[in-house]
Amino acid sequence: MEKKPGSPVRLFSTYARSSTRRVRLMDGIAGKGTMAAGLLIVALLVLLLNEMFRLSLPAICHFGIGFFTSSDWDPQGERFGVLPFLYGTLVSSAIALVIAIPFGIGTALFLTELAPQRLRGAVAFVVDMLAAIPSVVYGLWGVFVLAPLMQSHVGPFLEKTLGFLPLFRGPFYGGVSMLTAGLILAVMVVPFIVAIAREVLLTVPVDLKAASYALGATQWETIWKVVLPYSRVGIGGGVVLALGRALGETMAVTMVIGNQPRINASILQPGYSMAAVLANEFNEASSKLYLSVLVEVGLTLFLVTFLINIAARVLLWRMRSVHPH
Contact residues toward another protein (CB under 8 A) are 117, 205, 207-218, 221, 225-226, 229-230, 323-325
Q: What residues form DSSP beta bridges with 187?
A: none
Least Cβ distance, residue 215 to another protein (angstroms): 4
Q: How far is the CB of 74 from another protein (least distance, A)?
A: 56
Minimum CB distance to another protein, residue 213 (Å): 5
Q: Is the N-terminal amide bond of 8 cis, ω within 30° of 0?
A: no
Where helices occur in 110-177 by DSSP H, the ranges are 117-132, 135-141, 147-149, 155-162
User: What minimum distance in Å lies between the beta carbon of 206 and another protein?
Assistant: 9
- Residue type (1 letter), 64: G
Q: Which is nearer to another protein, 117 or 283 (CB)?
A: 117
Nearest to another protein of 10, 323 (CB atom): 323
CA distance 17 to 8: 17
Query: What is the closest distance, in whole angstroms, from the C-beta atom of residue 209 to another protein in the complex?
Result: 7
Asked whether the beta carbons of 271 and 90 are under 8 A apart, the reply is no
DSSP 3-state of 288: helix
In the bound complex, what is the minimum distance in angstroms from residue 121's beta carbon to another protein? 15
* Residue 32 or 318 having the CB closest to another protein: 318
Report the Cα 325 to chain-centroid distance in Å: 23
Is the Cβ of residue 32 or residue 225 nearer to another protein in the bound state? 225
Closest contact distance (angstroms) between CB of 235 and another protein is 15
| Cβ proximity to another protein, 224 vs 282, nearer residue | 224
If DSSP codes are grouped into helix, strand and coil, which group holds residue 79?
A: strand
Q: How far is the CB of 323 from another protein (least distance, A)?
A: 7
Of 171 and 216, nearer to another protein (C-beta) is 216
Q: According to DSSP H, which parts of the chain are helical?
A: 11-63, 66-69, 83-109, 117-132, 135-141, 147-149, 155-162, 178-202, 206-214, 219-222, 228-248, 251-256, 274-281, 288-322
Residue closer to another protein (CB basis): 38 or 229: 229
Q: Phi and psi dihedrals of 215, rounded to 5?
A: -95, 10
The C-alpha atoms of residue 197 and residue 230 are separated, in whole angstroms, by: 11
* Residue placing its CB nearer to another protein in the complex, 262 or 325: 325
What letter represents residue 291's amino acid? L
* Exposure b/e, 281-304, CB count within 10 A at least 16 = b: beeebeeebbbbbbbbbbbbbbeb
